[in-house]
Structure 1
Amino acid sequence: MTELDVQTLQRRLAAFASARDWEPYHTPKNLAAALSVEAAELLEIFQWLTPEQSARVMERPETAHRVADEVADVLAYLLQFCEVLGIDALTALSEKIDRNEFRFPVPDRRNPPEPDDRHSSE
């Protein structure tokens, strides 16, 4: 099996769409909508499961297959969305993690905040 990377997958997705003349439909708005629909289809699998059942969803081949397919659909539309808008998905994620590490520092477990102080910065 060949090693996978984001750019290769984006090229494959673009070639797939191009071969079917789908580019006119792959606007940012349409791709964002499709991404949302696919994310909802992923959520639907878990909708009525208990937390315990949801943690075991990959143990059953029929649900594991559905989850993997929906994850693939979400990722495909996200990568196509990024390609159309010129967003480097891995760079965007890395920069977001950097901002979150700054915004949400690791708590000092030796001196936990008092209960009234936990939300004082909001």
Structure 2
Amino acid sequence: MAQLQRRLAEFAVARDWGKYHTPKNLAAALSVEAGELVEIFQWLTPDESVRVMAGEESAGRVEDEVADVLAYLLQFCEVLGVDPLAALAAKIDRNEKRFPAVENGHSMEW
């Protein structure tokens, strides 16, 4: 993950894009790319959406948009000094406490 973040940072520096990579701009770009991922699935039935990776063209589109979303998220994290894996681990910990596992319709928390 850190290596990919470095590659993205070096790519931006080599093109003098750093001035554009503000948290606001990166958050907006992330939202746009997430929207483009959603657009692929917009009019698909649930069954079609499950099979989207079976088609070479649609799989390529999904992979490109996933890459764009991840690239902007990693750049956003780099600019703000957020460790995305640590943030995710902490969020999972909080969610495990907020939403205890359920067994047979009953919370396992007694």
What is the TM-score of this pair, normalised by structure 2? Answer: 0.95
The structure that is helix-richer by fraction is: 2
Structure 1 distance, partners of 2:4, 2:81, is: 15
Q: Which residue of 1 aligns with 2:12?
A: 17
Aligned-residue Cα RMSD (Å) equals 1.1
Matches within 5 A, 1:36-75: 36-75=31-70
Q: Does 1:92 align with 2:108?
A: no
User: What secondary structure does 1:33 align onto?
Assistant: helix
User: What secondary structure does 2:24 align onto?
Assistant: helix
Q: Which has the greater radius of gyration?
A: 1
Aligned residues, how many? 107
1:46 alignment partner AA: F
User: Structure 1 segments of 4 or more deviating over 6 A?
Assistant: none
Report sequence identity in percent.
Answer: 72
1:96 alignment partner AA: K
Structure 2 distance, partners of 1:31, 1:91, is: 20
Structure 1 distance, partners of 2:55, 2:103, is: 41
Q: Which residue of 2 aligns with 1:80?
A: 75
Structure 2 distance, partners of 1:107, 1:59, is: 34
Structure 2 residues not aligned, in runs of 5+? none
User: What secondary structure does 2:57 align onto?
Assistant: helix
TM superposition shift of 1:108: 3.0
Structure 2 distance, partners of 1:60, 1:72, is: 18
Q: Which residue of 2 aligns with 1:105?
A: 100
What is the TM-score of this pair, normalised by structure 1? Answer: 0.86
User: What secondary structure does 2:103 align onto?
Assistant: coil
Q: Which residue of 2 aligns with 1:117?
A: none
Structure 2 distance, partners of 1:47, 1:37, is: 15
User: What secondary structure does 1:97 align onto?
Assistant: helix
Structure 1 residues not aligned, in runs of 5+? 1-5, 114-122
